[in-house]
Amino acid sequence: MLSTSLGGIIRMLEIKVHTPVEIDRFFPSTKTCSRCGHQRPMSLAERTYACHHCGLVIDRDYNSSCVLEHEGRRLLGRGPTEVTPVETNTSTLMLEYLNQIAYVEASMVAETGSLTALA
């Protein structure tokens, strides 16, 4: 059986991670809303985080991981990650390219509220 102490795990992270960030163990990640940053007291028995300020209802552990990611990015001086849809022009060019290939017929499906997809 292989066992690794916490120090060994931290050492491997320091070797493999480009920019390790250590967040204080008393940082209130479980008590903080990942959407608005509002803090509220929580017992250990609560498994769902419900923000009374913005109305977010989310799994407690997932909320905590999002808060820790935001804090790590803040400490590094990087902004929050943002997912944006694919540019329509790029998709149109790809569609035209694919349709020039023999035996390939591509079409584009665009739905409100979703990303543009090639079918």
- Judge contact between 76 and 21, C-beta under 8 A: yes
> Is 51 in contact with 35 (CB distance < 8 Å)?
yes
93 & 40 share domain: no
Q: Give the CA radius of gyration of the chain.
A: 22
User: In terms of DSSP bridges, do strands 108-109 and 117-118 run parallel, antiparallel, or are they unpaired?
Assistant: antiparallel
**Structural domain contains residue 81:** no
The pLDDT tens digits of the residues spanning 46-100 come to 999 999 999 999 999 999 999 999 998 888 888 766 655 555 555 677 777 777 8
Greater confidence (24 vs 86) lies with 24
0.75 exceeded by pTM: no
In the predicted structure, residue 103 carries a pLDDT above the cut 80: no
Examine the domain organization and report whether 71 and 98 are in the same domain: no
107 belongs to a structural domain: yes
Structural domain span for residue 25? 6-76
Q: What percent of the chain has pLDDT over 90?
A: 36
Structure tokens at 102: 């023999």
Q: Are 73 and 91 in contact (CB under 8 A)?
A: no
Q: Which pair of tokens denotes residue 118?
A: 């090639």
The dihedrals phi and psi of 108, each to the nearest 5 degrees, come to -115, 135
Look at residue 34 and tell me if it is in a domain: yes
Number of domains within the chain: 2
Domain assignment present for 82: no
- Strand 108-109 and strand 57-59: the pairing is unpaired
pLDDT at 42 (0 to 100): 92
Domain check: are 61 and 17 in the same one?
Answer: yes
Give yes or no: residues 68 and 19 share one domain.
yes
